């Protein structure tokens, strides 16, 4: 039992170390990578455009539900006028960065892990290294840079769409005055809320995309699952680990800001 | 430290590699003459691909010395490793083509990433490499849209576009029928002479290798059992060489017989 706990602990610690080295190498490769701009644009397109419909759908329904739930809670205290504040603060501080990150992990992150896993199993990554091309710089760095752009942008979009969702359910369906709703939003959201929101988006983006890339990049490491099963297992691990890390990071960042 | 012979473009001394407790390479000594087509023969599982991957620095040997162009590579600094990568190309058994890039983009990739050439020159040189391998009409196709033979030619175009001095071929004929095996070896021999690179091929296809190669070696149970010209290999009376040659011949005859039976049925 003690041996098992020790082995598992060592594995976790070496996993953290390996992840840190992988991310550090990928970020430092930016300086040596050639024609990076083209690949960053492509990665922004892949992460941004592909995830846009999901962000819009989840954003609007999150706003609708927040408006609905918030109205019924606030109406108990006769404070329906604060609906805009409730929806906007919930979205900006917590729901938009976390839900947008989880959606992006589910779509862009899983796609990244699967693509890198396939490239590993078909020797494309080794081929790059034999050509003298940095596989980190060519394959991973553009995705990490792109995540620093797409995650905040998608989070901002989530906030905007969510606020309209709240306005839709609050004003159009439940009769809260539209002017009161938007005025409440304007007065409730401060600069520090927006700063917290975008800081979370940046950190979630970098962490989750690094984890997905790391899992896909080393999809061949498992001795029990190789080939297609190895890629599938790496993709599953990438999504699970990223989602957990997003929630843990959310708690840590929030505890600094509250 | 002994300076490696400059006659050999790559020279290996006492190369050892094990995986867990299994010893795959057990002290390999071999020199590949500059400008030759050198084939390392051996049965499946003999460690041929491991040997080639050790040379290409994909796998790290447990012991031994590898010299490239007379300079020791195993203990070399990063500058020499970078130089080695520039002067050496590797053709994978699976071709390792980027399926999300077109044929032209695949060929242009090493030039884009390792040289300071302009985009126009990169395109011209890549198209020229494709033209020389009669692939220029397919430059906009993706690897998945090409046949197996064309993918092999595309991989070769990518390998030679940087004008390497040494090209390592890992089982280039694996999984191909006898006619295609012959065509691939003919292609390697033709382009090796046309572009004047040294070709080091590992394969278990004896007849094709004996026709195309300048020199052959036999790798068996982690050791080089024979090294010489194809004529010397054919005439050798060493039990290991005879055993491998006869079993390969017998297998080839049985496959031909099965094919003929199938065709006449």
Domains of chain B are 8-97+166-264 (3.40.50.300)
Q: Residue B171 in 3-state DSSP? A: coil
* Res B60 pLDDT > 50: yes
Question: How far, in Å, CA of B183 to CA of A115, rounded?
Answer: 33
C-alpha torsion angle, residues B186, B187, B189, B190 (rounded to 10): 110
Q: What is the pLDDT along chain A (258 residues), one digit of tens a residue?
A: 888 899 889 988 998 999 999 999 999 988 888 888 989 999 999 888 888 999 999 999 999 999 999 999 998 888 888 999 999 999 999 999 999 999 999 999 999 999 999 999 999 999 999 998 899 999 999 999 999 999 999 999 999 999 999 999 998 888 889 899 999 999 999 999 999 999 999 999 999 999 999 999 999 887 676 778 889 999 999 999 999 999 999 999 999 876
| Residue of B90, B123, B168 to mutate, testing the A interface (most A Cβ within 10 Å of its Cβ) | B90
Q: Is residue A96 part of a domain?
A: yes
Q: Is residue A24 part of a domain?
A: no
Q: Is B96 on the interface with A (CB under 8 A)?
A: yes
Which DSSP state fits B47? S
Considering only residues A112 and B81, tell me which one the structure prediction assigns the higher pLDDT.
A112
- Check B58 against A133: CB less than 8 A apart: no
Residues of A in contact with B58 (CB under 8 A): 126, 129-130
* Res B265 pLDDT > 50: no
Which chain B residues in 138-167 lie under 8 Å from chain A, judged by CB atoms? 162
Which DSSP state fits B42? -
The model's confidence at residue B120, banded by pLDDT at 50, 70 and 90, is very high
- B205-254 pLDDT, tens digit per residue, is 888 888 889 999 999 888 999 999 999 988 888 888 888 877 766 655 65
| Residue of A127, A133, A223 to mutate, testing the B interface (most B Cβ within 10 Å of its Cβ) | A127
The model's confidence at residue B76, banded by pLDDT at 50, 70 and 90, is low
> For B57, which residue in chain A has the nearest alpha carbon?
A130
Q: Residue B180 in 3-state DSSP? A: helix
Q: What local confidence, expressed as pLDDT, does residue B1 receive?
A: 36
Q: Is residue A28 part of a domain?
A: no
* Res B202 pLDDT > 90: yes
Question: How far, in Å, CA of B208 to CA of B228, rounded?
Answer: 16
Q: What local confidence, expressed as pLDDT, does residue B96 receive?
A: 92
Q: Is residue A153 part of a domain?
A: yes
Tokens of B97: 């083509």
Contact B224, B30 (CB under 8 A): yes
Q: Is A131 on the interface with B (CB under 8 A)?
A: yes
Question: How far, in Å, CA of B20 to CA of B114, rounded?
Answer: 35
- Check B85 against A131: CB less than 8 A apart: yes
Q: Is A42 on the interface with B (CB under 8 A)?
A: no
Q: Is residue A16 part of a domain?
A: no
Q: Is residue A2 part of a domain?
A: no
**What's phi and psi for B40, nearest 5 deg?**
-100, 115
- B123-172 pLDDT, tens digit per residue, is 999 999 898 888 889 999 999 999 888 898 899 899 889 989 999 999 88
Q: What local confidence, expressed as pLDDT, does residue B2 receive?
A: 43
* Res B260 pLDDT > 70: no
Q: What local confidence, expressed as pLDDT, does residue B263 receive?
A: 47
HSE value, Cβ hemisphere, 13 Å, CA-based, for B133 = 32
> What domain count does chain A have?
1
Q: Is residue A76 part of a domain?
A: yes
Q: What local confidence, expressed as pLDDT, does residue B45 receive?
A: 82
Contact B166, B89 (CB under 8 A): yes
Written in H, E and C, the secondary structure of chain A is CHHHHHHHHHHHHHHHHHHHHHHHHHHHHHHCCCCHHHHHHHHHHHHHHHHHHHHHHHHHHHHHHHHHHHHHHHHHCCCHHHHHHHHHHHHHHHHHHHHHHHHHHHHHHHHHHHHHHHHHHCCHHHHHHHCCCCHHHHHHHHHHHHHHHHHHHHHHHHHHHHHHHHHHHHHHHCCCCHHHHHHHHHHHCCHHHHHHHHHHHHHHHHHHHHHHHHHHHCHHHCCCCCHHHHHHHHHHHHHHHHHHHHHHHHHHHHHHHC
Q: Is B112 on the interface with A (CB under 8 A)?
A: yes
Question: How far, in Å, CA of A146 to CA of A61, rounded?
Answer: 26
> For A38, which residue in chain B has the nearest alpha carbon?
B112
**A with B: how many residue pairs have Cβ under 8 Å apart?**
47
ipTM, interface predicted TM-score of the complex: 0.80
Q: What local confidence, expressed as pLDDT, does residue A85 receive?
A: 93
Contact A116, A219 (CB under 8 A): yes
Tokens of A139: 């394959």
Residue with tokens 């819009």: A56
Considering only residues A221 and B37, tell me which one the structure prediction assigns the higher pLDDT.
B37
Question: How far, in Å, CA of A63 to CA of A53, rounded?
Answer: 15
Question: How far, in Å, CA of A11 to CA of A2, rounded?
Answer: 14
* Domain, as residue range, for A161: 34-257
> For A34, which residue in chain B has the nearest alpha carbon?
B113
Which DSSP state fits B57? T
Residues of A in contact with B110 (CB under 8 A): 131-133
Hey, how many other C-beta atoms are within 10 angstroms of the C-beta on B156?
A: 26
The closest CB to that of A132, out of B58, B86, B94, belongs to B86
Section B80-103 average pLDDT: 89
Question: How far, in Å, CA of B61 to CA of A7, rounded?
Answer: 28
- Check A127 against B86: CB less than 8 A apart: no
Q: Is B97 on the interface with A (CB under 8 A)?
A: yes
Q: Is A133 on the interface with B (CB under 8 A)?
A: yes
Q: What local confidence, expressed as pLDDT, does residue B3 receive?
A: 43
Q: Which is it for strands B215-220 and B37-41: parallel, antiparallel or unpaired? A: parallel
Contact B38, B214 (CB under 8 A): yes
> For A120, which residue in chain B has the nearest alpha carbon?
B96
The closest CB to that of A126, out of B58, B82, B162, belongs to B58
* Res B47 pLDDT > 60: yes
Angle between helix A96-104 and helix A191-217 axes, rounded to 10 deg: 20
Residue with tokens 């940087």: B162
Q: Is A78 on the interface with B (CB under 8 A)?
A: no
Please tell me the distance in Å from A119's CA to the nearest CA on chain B.
8
Give, rounded to a whole angstrom, the gap between the first and last alpha carbons of chain A.
40
């Amino acid at each position: 039992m003690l041996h098992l706990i020790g082995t598992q602990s060592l594995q976790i610690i070496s996993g953290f170390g390996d992840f840190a080295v992988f991310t550090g190498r990928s970020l430092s490769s930016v300086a040596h990578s050639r024609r990076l701009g083209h690949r960053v644009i492509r990665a922004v397109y892949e992460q941004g455009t592909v995830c846009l419909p999901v962000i819009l759908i989840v954003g609007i329904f999150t706003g609708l539900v927040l408006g609905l739930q918030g109205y019924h809670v606030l109406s108990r205290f006769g404070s329906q006028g604060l609906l805009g504040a409730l929806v906007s603060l919930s979205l900006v501080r917590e729901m938009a960065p976390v839900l947008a990150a989880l959606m992006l992990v589910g779509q862009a992150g899983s796609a990244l892990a699967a693509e890198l896993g396939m490239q590993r199993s078909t020797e494309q990554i080794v081929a790059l290294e034999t050509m003298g091309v940095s596989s980190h710089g060519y394959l991973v760095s553009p995705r990490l840079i792109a995540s620093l752009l797409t995650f905040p942008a998608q989070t901002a979009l989530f906030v905007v769409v969510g606020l309209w969702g709240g306005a839709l359910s609050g004003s159009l369906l439940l009769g809260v005055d539209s002017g009161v709703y938007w005025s409440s939003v304007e007065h409730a959201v401060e600069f520090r809320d927006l700063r917290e929101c975008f800081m979370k988006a940046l950190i979630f983006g970098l962490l989750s995309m690094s984890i997905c890339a790391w899992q896909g990049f080393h999809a061949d490491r498992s001795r029990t699952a190789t080939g297609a099963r190895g890629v599938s297992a790496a993709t599953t691990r990438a999504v699970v680990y990223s989602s957990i890390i997003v929630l843990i990071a959310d708690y840590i960042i929030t505890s600094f800001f509250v | 430290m002994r300076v490696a012979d400059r006659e050999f473009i790559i020279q290996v001394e006492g190369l050892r590699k094990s995986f867990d407790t299994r010893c795959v390479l057990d002290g390999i000594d071999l020199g590949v003459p500059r400008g030759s087509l050198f084939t390392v023969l051996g049965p499946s599982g003999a460690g041929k691909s491991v040997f080639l991957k050790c040379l290409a620095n994909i796998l790290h040997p447990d012991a031994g010395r590898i010299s490239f162009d007379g300079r020791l590579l195993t203990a070399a600094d990063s500058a020499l490793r970078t130089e080695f990568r520039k002067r050496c190309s590797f053709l994978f058994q699976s071709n390792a083509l980027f399926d999300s890039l077109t044929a032209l983009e695949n060929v242009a990739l090493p030039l884009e990433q390792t040289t300071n050439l302009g985009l126009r020159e990169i395109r011209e040189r890549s198209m020229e490499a494709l033209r020389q391998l009669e692939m220029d009409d397919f430059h906009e196709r993706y690897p998945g849209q090409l046949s197996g033979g064309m993918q092999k030619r595309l991989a070769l175009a990518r390998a030679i576009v940087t004008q390497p001095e040494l090209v390592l071929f890992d089982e280039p004929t694996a999984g191909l029928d006898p006619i295609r095996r012959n065509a691939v070896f003919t292609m390697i021999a033709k382009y090796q002479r046309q572009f004047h690179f040294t070709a080091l091929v590992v394969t278990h296809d004896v007849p094709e290798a004996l026709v195309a190669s300048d020199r052959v070696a036999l790798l068996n149970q982690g050791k080089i059992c024979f090294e010489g010209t194809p004529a010397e290999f054919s005439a050798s009376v060493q039990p290991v060489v005879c055993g491998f040659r006869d079993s390969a011949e017998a297998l080839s005859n049985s496959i031909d017989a099965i094919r003929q039976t199938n065709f006449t049925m």
